[in-house]
Chain A
Amino acid sequence: MIVSRRRFMRLGIVGGLLVGTGSVVAFVRTRGYVLDPVRAGRLVALSPWHVVVVEHAARRIAAADAPEDANIPSADDTDVAGFVDGYVAKLPADMRRDLLRFLAVLEHVAPLALGLGARFSRLPAADQDRVLTSLEQSSTLLLRAGFEGLKSLVFMGYYRDPRTWTILGYPGPWVNRP
């Protein structure tokens, strides 16, 4: 099955709709997201609401297998969302646009498809996992690709941090190794 990027946007169901249906939807869509103003001022590619969505997704994607273990850093500890913001800023414009649209689908559309009435970022963790799983295994193949792209960015942000390497027993780079 050949599916073009343009078709992805169509298959992104309301994703394109959300982006293009005018100021009212845009106003509602981006309201109610709280981000520290200093942090918001430092953003280069993402808007505050994108950051909130990435943070919530990263907490689930990089969730610990032993939450009680204080030695396992969280996605917040490793500032995954901040990393994603900086990384995405240097992507070609069309790739950056696709990712941001996928975040809109994740936040607003994917929960509805499961019959969940709230935004992704306002769902309890178990429901967020259901939403992410639905994207990972979606029959809409390019939603799977979107999930894989987000997952890669999250893990790049998470496993770049030396504190996570102890989980793996990985000693880290040779360069600058004590």
Chain B
Amino acid sequence: MGESPVTELAVRGRQLHADLVLDTEAVVVGTGAGGSIALRELARAGIDAVALEEGGYHTTADFNQREERMLALLFQEQGGRTTEDLAIRILQGRGVGGSTIHNTNLCKRIPDAILSAWADDFGLGDVRPEVLAPSFARIEADLSVSEIPAADRNANNEVLRLGAERLGWRGGPLKHNRVGCQRSGFCELGCSYDAKQNALKIVLPQAAAAGARIYADVRATRIHVEGGRVTGLEGVVLGENGEHIANARIRAKVVVLAASATGSAALALASGVPDPHDQIGRGLHVHPGAAVAGIFDRTLASYDGIPQSYECTEFLSFERGSDRRVWIVPAFAHPIGAASALPGFGASHMRAMRDYGKLAVLTALVHDETEGRVVLGAGDRPKIRYVMNDADRAQLGKGLVACARILFAAGARDVVIPAVFPHRMREPGELDRLDTGFVRPHELPLTAVHPMGTMRMGTDPKRSVVGPTGEHHHVRGLFVADGSLFPTSIGGPPQIGIYTLALHLAHHIIARARSS
């Protein structure tokens, strides 16, 4: 390709000494999984392309494994983003590389049954499993995806494997995109050893080497549309403390939204993009989840090692109408995360924290049917309306009970569901009598890390925002290339699916950029 190595990947906001004014062929908003691939493919096709990233440009040297620092640096709203009713914590990345910086590197394809349903229900015949398989394979090769060796499984993951096997439940090893992993256990805070084969390390440097330009600390605020086609966008350049230090004006004939299911929808809404059927922001899914802790008699040190290397899929089926919609994986946290999740406060809380080294923690995530919505909040930031429906609450309840059974089967002496009124159990028989009515907002700490939907793809403009090419139904040149595209929940980690869809749609984006 004639690509040359890149030393400084992105221009930081503070390096801009005047307004950012560019005339280019394509501009990509967001630099996570989808944006990085769209940018790379555009640049490799010889298209003059730039990417704007609202967050900062951070490198390995910045990732100091400190929760209080990394939460502020790498997450939207310093890790404090929640649903509108404050009931579900939404963890989303912010910065060059997006959520690929802080995710735990899990790599799963979108299940075949989901793709087939999208093809049948949304007219997306071009995403059938056999059609998408080459794009999945290419992404997996790009990111060095491999199965996590059993020898690298830490104590927390061993608890899950052992418990599931003793119960005769389906499970297996997970795949990841890591090379040279030191097994330090700090994936969620950014890798200090540059072992993540993510957008920051792999894809964006390839894009830059092919001629793309990346601007950090630039927040897109308005997409410009004239006569049914996109003409560019405007934004603000942010200083080190988020202050507005300059303006950005980018003329382009293609705009690619890749700012996540929340960010892309909010930008489209703020811009007044044509939306005759009121579809932008609808169809939000998040995989809501909650945790269960098991206390063992021995030290597990679950904070050490690869956080997630094994899954239990006994309660996960992707067939239509399935009532098995729960994915179970380990979910350990560092001290601040653990302290925030454990119920109560004061002396009793500290007593519980003394068991920190003896804890194993599992989480149940729901392959959700609930459809939330992104609307505009203060300062045009996304406001996330999402309240789990009864069916999803019931699924989560089943999932929590399953987590508890696994922990007991693996030898936990106590199992705690950290609700506001905690449920502490000493033997599995207590689970038979457990009323899971506590699975509801504000009774149970809920977290979600996989927002998707909101700019759904489909052939019918009455129930989707973009067509099968990823281009907006009503605005030529406006594309989406992130998890917003998903018409439904996918029931697992979305990063590979997002990378792959962006790659799969790239030739349409390139064709539009090349057209007059």
Interface string of A152-172 (1 = CB under 8 A from B): 100111111000110111100
Report B-chain residues with C-beta under 8 Å of the C-beta of A29: none
A119 at the interface (CB under 8 A from B): no
State whether A94 touches B346 (Cβ < 8 A). no
Binding stretch for chain A, among B120-128, B166-174, B352-360: B352-360
Report B-chain residues with C-beta under 8 Å of the C-beta of A156: 67-68, 71, 336, 340
State whether A4 touches B84 (Cβ < 8 A). yes
- Which residue of B is nearest A6, CB measured? B84
Interface centre among B334, B345, B354, B356, by most A CB within 10 Å? Answer: B345
Interface string of A36-79 (1 = CB under 8 A from B): 00000000000000000000000011111100000010000000
Binding site for B on A (CB under 8 A): 1-5, 8, 60-65, 72, 83, 87, 90-95, 129, 132, 136-137, 141-142, 144-146, 148-149, 151-152, 155-160, 164-165, 167-170, 173-176
Report B-chain residues with C-beta under 8 Å of the C-beta of A170: 303, 334-335, 356-357
Report B-chain residues with C-beta under 8 Å of the C-beta of A159: 67, 335-336, 339
* 5 pairs of residues in contact across A and B, judged by CB atoms under 8 Å: A1-B387, A63-B350, A65-B347, A72-B350, A90-B72
B66 at the interface (CB under 8 A from A): yes
- Which residue of A is nearest B352, CB measured? A65
Report B-chain residues with C-beta under 8 Å of the C-beta of A1: 387, 441
Q: Please, how many residues of chain B have a CB less than 8 angstroms from a CB on the other chain?
A: 52
State whether A151 touches B345 (Cβ < 8 A). yes
B313 at the interface (CB under 8 A from A): no
State whether A174 touches B377 (Cβ < 8 A). no
4 pairs of A and B residues whose beta carbons are closest in the complex: A173-B65, A145-B86, A155-B339, A141-B442
Report A-chain residues with C-beta under 8 Å of the C-beta of B186: 173-174
B149 at the interface (CB under 8 A from A): no
Q: Is the interface of A mostly helix, strand, loop or mixed?
A: helix
* CB-CB under 8 A for A174 and B347, given A92-B381, A156-B336: no
Query: Which of B67, B299, B357, B420 sits near A137, CB closer than 8 Å?
Result: B420
Report A-chain residues with C-beta under 8 Å of the C-beta of B64: 173, 175-176
B2 at the interface (CB under 8 A from A): no
Report B-chain residues with C-beta under 8 Å of the C-beta of A90: 72, 78, 241-242
CA distance A66 to B294 in the complex (A): 24
State whether B345 touches A60 (Cβ < 8 A). yes
Mark out the residues of chain B between 100 and 156 whose CB falls within 8 Å of any chain A CB in the assembled complex. none
Report B-chain residues with C-beta under 8 Å of the C-beta of A60: 345-346
Q: A87-B78, A174-B192 are in contact. List 10 more A-B contacts (CB 8 A).
A: A61-B346, A63-B347, A94-B377, A136-B420, A137-B420, A141-B442, A149-B86, A155-B340, A168-B354, A176-B64
Query: Which of B67, B346, B442 sits near A160, CB closer than 8 Å?
Result: B67
State whether B356 touches A8 (Cβ < 8 A). no
B445 at the interface (CB under 8 A from A): yes
B184 at the interface (CB under 8 A from A): yes
CA distance A4 to B340 in the complex (A): 23
Smallest Cβ distance from A20 to chain B, in angstroms? 18
Query: Which of A2, A61, A62, A91 sits near B85, CB closer than 8 Å?
Result: A2
- Which residue of A is nearest B355, CB measured? A168
Report B-chain residues with C-beta under 8 Å of the C-beta of A83: 68
B322 at the interface (CB under 8 A from A): no
* CB-CB under 8 A for A129 and B346, given A149-B80, A149-B86, A169-B357: yes
- Which residue of A is nearest B68, CB measured? A160
Report A-chain residues with C-beta under 8 Å of the C-beta of B82: 145
State whether B66 touches A160 (Cβ < 8 A). yes
CA distance A144 to B346 in the complex (A): 16
CA distance A117 to B349 in the complex (A): 28
CA distance A177 to B353 in the complex (A): 22
State whether B340 touches A167 (Cβ < 8 A). no
Query: Which of A93, A95, A141, A164 sits near B335, CB closer than 8 Å?
Result: A164
State whether B339 touches A158 (Cβ < 8 A). yes
B371 at the interface (CB under 8 A from A): no
State whether B345 touches A61 (Cβ < 8 A). yes
* CB-CB under 8 A for A5 and B345, given A160-B67, A174-B192: no
State whether A173 touches B66 (Cβ < 8 A). yes
CA distance A97 to B299 in the complex (A): 42
State whether B378 touches A94 (Cβ < 8 A). yes
B77 at the interface (CB under 8 A from A): yes
Report A-chain residues with C-beta under 8 Å of the C-beta of B78: 87, 90-91
Report A-chain residues with C-beta under 8 Å of the C-beta of B71: 156
- Which residue of A is nearest B299, CB measured? A169
Report B-chain residues with C-beta under 8 Å of the C-beta of A132: 345-346
Report A-chain residues with C-beta under 8 Å of the C-beta of B420: 136-137, 144
